[in-house]
Amino acid sequence: MTQTLTFLGLESSCDDTAAAIVRQREGEAAEILSSVVFGQTELHSAFGGVVPEIAARAHAEKLDTCVREALAKAGLSLDDLDAIAVTAGPGLIGGVMSGVMCAKGIAAAKGLPLVGVNHLAGHALTPRLTDGVSYPYLMLLVSGGHCQYLIARGPEDFTRLGGTIDDAPGEAFDKTARLLGLPQPGGPSVEAEARLGDERRYRFPRPLLDRPGCDLSFSGLKTALMRQRDKIVAEKNGLTRQDRADLCAGFQAAVRDTLAEKTRRAVALYLDEQPGAPALAVAGGVAANMAIRGALETVCTETGLRFTAPPLALCTDNAAMIAYAGSELLAAGAEDDMTLAARPRWPLDTQAAPLIGHGRKGAKA
């Protein structure tokens, strides 16, 4: 008889409260029955970043509603669940604790298996959920809080090839937008301006290209942009629309070229493994950027890799990826009990040296 397992996933590690139901039928692709995300952007907008205390309280308040909505959308009740998967880190500790406590409560009340999931593993396994990508594959996580290259070999088997030593690219887009008076989130508004600009007018640094390896750095780029903006303002007493568009185009080109070159290097390291069906998957909000996406696709074409990017709703924070990662972990025998603890830091590759500390949107490594 084929086995069917229904997972509830919970996510609350940053500023999105999410619950989702994923069903796994043996030998078939997993199916997302529902995925509910309550964002908190408006709660934090006055503060210029995510306020951990406010986030934790909002998660605690919203989790129940979120679970109820996910069950209702899937047409199920708690009695139909077979297991609970929850983000147990890395992230803002108050939020992660809210999710873990909620998951423990449901698991204890219903006598269900509990699986603690690494949030980054959730992102990194998404291409298997959405595109059936087989191990091993190369993964680029690129968002407002994360930026790293990983080789994924199994649900608990990752090698980090490199990552940002300071800001994540999405953070750099957001800061650039702030510096130029464009609306948040910065990524889409900078991309829209860049389309109207000339990327050759201002040339910004391509950080760390002179160093071997796949580590990245984006904080210097933001400073270079600020200097150029101040120079133009001092010379002309302000910025014209064209100046702003050209600054955005120059900035975006620098991020694009840096990510493309570092990806080329990561691909070379990954191909040493001789994967059967070589693939690069990209996830995170910045993967929505068409210029960056195009550059990554070109690298894949040059190097013979399949390129995949999950749909945007599954690239950004969600609980379907946590439920799915939980299903792979449980199948591999990784089950937790009531001692499951929330972890502010939880590197996917425990052998790799730590990269950086906490950023504006939570723990990055």
Residues in touch with Zn ion (CB under 5 A): 317
**Who contacts 101 (Cβ-Cβ below 8 Å, separation ≥6)?**
none
Cα–Cα distance, 236 to 232 (Å, whole number): 6
Shortest distance (Å) from residue 293 CB to ligand KG4:
9
CB atoms closer than 10 angstroms to residue 335: 14
Shortest distance (Å) from residue 80 CB to ligand KG4:
30
- Residues within the interface to ligand KG4 (CB under 6 A): 14, 143-145, 170-171, 173-174, 185-188, 191, 284-286, 288-289, 316-317, 361
Shortest distance (Å) from residue 309 CB to Zn ion:
15
Q: Which does 289 bind (CB under 5 to 8 A by kind): ligand KG4, Zn ion, none?
A: ligand KG4
Q: Which does 137 bind (CB under 5 to 8 A by kind): ligand KG4, Zn ion, none?
A: none
Minimum CB distance to ligand KG4 smaller for 116 or for 285: 285
Shortest distance (Å) from residue 317 CB to ligand KG4:
5
Q: Before 188, cis peptide (omega within 30)?
A: no
Give the H or E element holding residue 69: helix 52-74
Cα–Cα distance, 341 to 344 (Å, whole number): 10
Shortest distance (Å) from residue 140 CB to ligand KG4:
12
Minimum CB distance to Zn ion smaller for 122 or for 162: 122
Q: Which does 173 bind (CB under 5 to 8 A by kind): Zn ion, ligand KG4, none?
A: ligand KG4
CA dist list (Å): 90 to 117, 145, 200, 273: 9, 11, 39, 28
Minimum CB distance to ligand KG4 smaller for 185 or for 275: 185
Minimum CB distance to ligand KG4 smaller for 136 or for 170: 170
Minimum CB distance to ligand KG4 smaller for 66 or for 71: 66
Cβ-closest residue to ligand KG4? 187
Shortest distance (Å) from residue 68 CB to Zn ion:
24
Minimum CB distance to ligand KG4 smaller for 162 or for 170: 170
Residue 168 · residue 146 · CB < 8 Å? yes
Residue 121 · residue 259 · CB < 8 Å? no
CA dist list (Å): 232 to 30, 197, 240: 53, 16, 9
Give the H or E element holding residue 126: helix 119-131
Shortest distance (Å) from residue 288 CB to Zn ion:
14
Minimum CB distance to ligand KG4 smaller for 24 or for 148: 148
Our CA angle for 13, 16, 17, nearest 5°, is 85
Helix and strand totals (H; E) in the chain: 11, 12
Q: Which does 215 bind (CB under 5 to 8 A by kind): Zn ion, ligand KG4, none?
A: none
Cβ-closest residue to Zn ion? 317
What 3-state class would DSSP assign to 98?
A: helix
Q: Which does 286 bind (CB under 5 to 8 A by kind): Zn ion, ligand KG4, none?
A: ligand KG4
Output helix, strand, coil percentages for the chain, rounded to the nearest 5.
Answer: 45, 20, 35
Cα–Cα distance, 274 to 271 (Å, whole number): 5
Minimum CB distance to ligand KG4 smaller for 177 or for 330: 177
Shortest distance (Å) from residue 82 CB to Zn ion:
25
